[in-house]
Structure 1
Amino acid sequence: MTVATKTIARQQYRRIIDSAARHADLRMPPEGWLKTVRKALGMSGVQLAKKMRVTRARIAQAERAERDGAASLKSMKAAAEAMGCRFVYAVVPEKRIEDIITAQARKKALALVAAASTHMAMENQALPNDKIAEEIERLTREMAREMPPDLWNDK
């Protein structure tokens, strides 16, 4: 895959994620989605259990698992469909993808400049603070644009 192709593909992925993030500002209700939808429909746990061909205890367990973050995607989908709903699953960033990448690039740039500055100071060649800030900004832009393979490595 060429660099241009990778860049275009990455831009398409970013548009998809940024679009999803704009449309998915959802927070789970305190009782969880399953219980909240079930109650909104006026459906009892016994009624949902019958539709799903499981026990009432299984419904209570599924609702508790969702609240605890332990529900499987398969069980969420099955319960949603039994209630005439569509199960939607997404991983949505808290900020724009570009902002997340820039923050990581800045973190890497700060580490690189700090290491170089330490060596230069030992040799009495320290740069003024404004030059250090300029270099951090330059490296941040370059890394965010180039996306080096080690961008997400911690070290």
Structure 2
Amino acid sequence: MRNKKKLLIEQLDQKLKHFQKTEMVLVPDKGWINTIRMALNMTMAQLGAKLNITRQGVKSIEESEAKGTISLNSLKDIAEVLDLKFVYGFVPKDGTIDNLINSKSEKLARKIVLRTNQNMKLEDQGIGDKKINDSIIDLADEIKREMRKSLWD
């Protein structure tokens, strides 16, 4: 089961690697609809005719996209009438899904080990920095291997 999860993560990272460039995901100030419409030298009335809405409806849609309140279905419809493909997804901030899992595992392991060590210090049983770091690494590896649900708390 663990190998299956690892394989799924590797496959997802492979699919997402093409979207890692920041400039690929920056949304223009006025939104994609307005930017593409302007680049195509298309009027609001022309786009409205394709969507069976008024010029004012197109303006409202463009404003809605710029504010981030447009629906995914609206974006799909607009892409369709413009003969474009609508692309939607999530891209890890730190490179890969695997990096995200590593980071979260290390953070959770650090929290657990330091909390445990603090309790042990209260009983004069604390451990040294090297042992703490080794324990964090070992626990992070275990958390990652098990893909504990607590990783996402």
**Is the TM-score greater than 0.5?**
yes
Q: 1:20 to 1:37 in 2, by over 3 A?
A: farther
Relative to structure 1, is the Cα distance of residues 72 and 148 closer, same or farther in structure 2, using a 3 angstrom cutoff?
Answer: same
- Rounded to whole Å, the distance in 1 between the matches of 2:79 and 2:14 is 24
Q: How does 1:86-97 map to 2 (within 5 A)?
A: 86-95=85-94, 96-97=96-97
Q: 1:38 to 1:93 in 2, by over 3 A?
A: same
1:23 maps to 2:23: no
Q: Which of the numbers 5, 8, 12 marks the counterpart of 1:13?
A: 8
Match of 2:111 in 1: 111
Question: 1:75 — aligned with what?
Answer: 74
Q: How does 1:125-136 map to 2 (within 5 A)?
A: 125-136=125-136
Give secondary structure in 2 for the equivalent of 1:131.
Answer: helix
Identity value in percent: 32
- Shift of the 14–117 alpha-carbon distance from structure 1 to 2, 3 Å rule, reads same
* Matched positions, count: 148
Indicate conservation of the 8 Å contact 2:13/2:98, yes or no: no
Amino acid at match of 2:30: E
Letter in 2 for 1:138: D
Quick one: distance in 2 between partners of 1:38 and 1:22? 29
Higher helix share: 2
| Distance in 1, Cα, partners of 2:44 & 2:11 | 37
TM-score normalised over the length of structure 2: 0.89
Matched residue of 1:150: which SS? helix
Question: Which amino acid in 1 is paired with 2:110?
Answer: L
Q: SS in structure 2 opposite 1:90?
A: coil
Equivalent position of 1:56 in the other structure: 55
TM-score (norm 1): 0.88
Contact 1:105 1:151 in 2 (8 A): yes
Q: Please identify runs of 4+ aligned residues in structure 1 that moved more than 6 A.
A: none
Q: Distance in 1 between matches of 2:87 and 2:125?
A: 57
Q: What letter is aligned with 2:126? A: A
Question: What secondary structure sits across from 1:63 in the alignment?
Answer: helix
Distance 1:15 1:151, change over 3 A: same
Unaligned runs of 5+ in 1: none
